[in-house]
């Protein structure tokens, strides 16, 4: 049996929960005031679920450091993405249109209260930065780690 690292286990659990919430949320979409925005949340939840499940499997099969800043970033990434998902779900009723104007325009959203627009903008900004750092750590580790069958002098194509 393969020993799971804390980061791998956390990402696998988070990915499964994102998938579950996204699938259940799919039943709520038709009841929302702005179903196209609620559908966007459904799609994002399931896409992030797959993304975090894959990341957890990558961490399981490739050498990632246990402990330290890398592990903290890999555990925090999925947790810090929840506010984005929750505000996208709420936006199915709010109809905010400043942060995601293309989706909001297609949904017929006319805008929401300033505090709602601000919450969506802030969560998306922070979530975007979190995911960039998260995937930078994963990519850097994959390029840094020697994979099975590779020699120490293996070079990576550009």
Q: For the chain, what is the mean pLDDT?
A: 90
Residue 42's Cβ-side half-sphere holds a number of Cα atoms within 13 Å equal to 16
- DSSP letter string, 95-143: ---SSSHHHHHHHT-----HHHHHHHHHHHHHHHHHHHHHHHHHHHHHH
* pLDDT greater than 70 at residue 155: no
What are the distances in angstroms from CA 78 to CA 36, 46, 50, 73, 128? 24, 13, 12, 9, 12
The pLDDT, as a whole number, for residue 62 is: 84
DSSP letter for 148, please: T
The arithmetic mean of pLDDT across residues 31-56, rounded, is 97
Q: Using the predicted structure, report yes or no on whether residue 19 has a pLDDT greater than 80.
A: yes
Which pLDDT tens digit goes with each residue over 86-126? 999 999 999 999 998 999 999 999 999 999 999 999 999 99
pLDDT reported for residue 61:
86
SS3 65: coil
Is the pLDDT higher at 89 or at 153?
Answer: 89
Number of helices (H), then strands (E), in the chain:
5, 0
Structure tokens at 82: 């929840």
**What pLDDT sits at residue 82?**
98
User: Other CB atoms closer than 10 Å to residue 10's CB: what's the count?
Assistant: 22
Residue with tokens 């998938």: 19
pLDDT, position 65:
83
Give the pLDDT of residue 2. Answer: 60
Predicted pLDDT of residue 66: 85
Average pLDDT rounded to a whole number, residues 34-45? 97
SS3 label, residue 25: helix
Read off the pLDDT of residues 62-95 as tens digits, 9 standing for 90 and up.
878 888 999 999 999 999 999 999 999 999 999 9
């Amino acid at each position: 049996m393969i020993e799971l690292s804390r980061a791998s286990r956390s990402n696998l659990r988070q990915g499964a929960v994102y998938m579950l919430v996204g699938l259940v949320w799919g039943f709520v979409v038709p009841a929302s005031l702005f179903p196209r925005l609620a559908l966007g949340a459904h799609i994002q939840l399931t896409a992030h679920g797959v993304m975090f499940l894959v990341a957890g499997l990558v961490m399981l099969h490739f050498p990632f450091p246990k402990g330290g800043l890398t592990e903290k970033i890999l555990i925090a990434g999925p947790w810090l993405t929840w506010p984005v998902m929750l505000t996208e779900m709420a936006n199915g009723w709010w109809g905010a249109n400043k942060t995601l104007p293309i989706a909001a325009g297609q949904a017929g959203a006319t805008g929401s209260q300033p505090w709602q627009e601000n919450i969506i903008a802030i969560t998306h900004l922070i979530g975007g930065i979190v995911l960039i750092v998260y995937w930078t750590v994963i990519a850097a580790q994959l390029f840094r780690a020697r994979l099975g069958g590779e020699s120490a002098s293996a070079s990576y194509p550009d």
